[in-house]
Amino acid sequence: MVLKFRRHGRRLVFPIFVLMLVAAATGYWAGTFAESWVNLLAGVGAGLVALLLGVMPILAWLARRTTVTTNRVISRKGVFVHERTEVSWNRVREVRTKRSVPQRLVRAGDIELFHDAESTVLHDVPNSSIVAEAMQELMERNFKRATRESPRFS
């Protein structure tokens, strides 16, 4: 194993903000309504908002990870349905990076691995320039090893 990473942590800013806002609003308004059913409904609504906009995005972030080994790139994702994608370095022909302005501010970026007639995109990779350089080196090293080991016909 060479690298193991998740998407950039800036993805957690909004869910954490939502959880703090829901906790503050619930603490302020809990039990202040005249009818008990309104208090119960407000609590259930706050719980749903916290679950859908706070907890689920955090779980999705935790469930998505990428592992780079000397032989392949393995991407795993999914909270309820797990999906695993593997790309062998033997198939990768090009490594590209793309960084938007917000991504440049936090030193993140997207890395695209071109293989065969398709490509695999790793979104929001932290320290994307360093990771892309490491991937480029692994791809070149694997290519040299493959050409050295391939049989030559005369």
pLDDT digits (tens, 9 = 90+) for 27-72: 998 888 888 899 999 999 999 999 999 999 999 999 999 999 988 9
Asked if residue 153 has pLDDT above 60, the reply is no
- Smallest CA-to-CA distance from 29 within 40, 16, 14 is with 40
Give the tokens for residue 136: 């480029």
Q: Cβ distance 87 to 73 under 8 Å? A: yes
Q: Which residues contact 69 (CB under 8 A, 6 or more apart)?
A: 1, 2
What integer pLDDT is reported at residue 148 of this predicted model?
A: 73
Burial class (CB within 10 angstroms; exposed 0-12, middle 13-18, buried 19+) of 114: middle
Q: Cβ distance 85 to 74 under 8 Å? A: yes
Can you point out the beta strands (E) in 3-127? 3-5, 65-68, 72-77, 83-88, 92-98, 108-115, 118-126
Asked if residue 120 has pLDDT above 80, the reply is yes
Q: Could you read off the pLDDT of 3-18 as tens digits, one per residue?
A: 899 999 899 999 999 9
Averaged pLDDT score across all residues of the chain: 89
